[in-house]
Amino acid sequence: MRRLERLLAGLYPRAWRERYEEEFVAMLEQRPGSVSDLVDVVFGVLDAWVRPQVASEGGRLVIPKMRTSLLVVLWAWAGFVAAGVPDPTFYA
């Protein structure tokens, strides 16, 4: 397994990796890498974290806990970005 494939697979949640990592890495190794593949993988990682379809912890689903945590982080990031935007009238 090449280093890039291992790194990309490591971005996914643990439950996802346990289920799909071997197939995912095999698929990536069969084709030459491209920017569009990298973008697709990034969006796949985000989707796997926001809407996990493979998630369990001791027999109970952890989807709501993961979704809430991720949404809090994303909203905090959006707030920091918005706070850093200068007021348009500041330079007038």
Single pTM value for the model: 0.52
Q: How far is CA 37 from CA 15, 29, 40, 41, 91, in A?
A: 22, 12, 5, 6, 42
28: pLDDT strictly greater than 60:
yes
Q: What is the pLDDT at residue 1?
A: 43
Judged by DSSP in three states, 60 sits in: strand
The pLDDT value given to residue 91: 64
6 or 56: which carries more pLDDT confidence?
6
Taking only the tens place, the pLDDT of each residue in 38-61 is 888 888 888 888 877 765 555 555
pLDDT at 63 (0 to 100)? 63
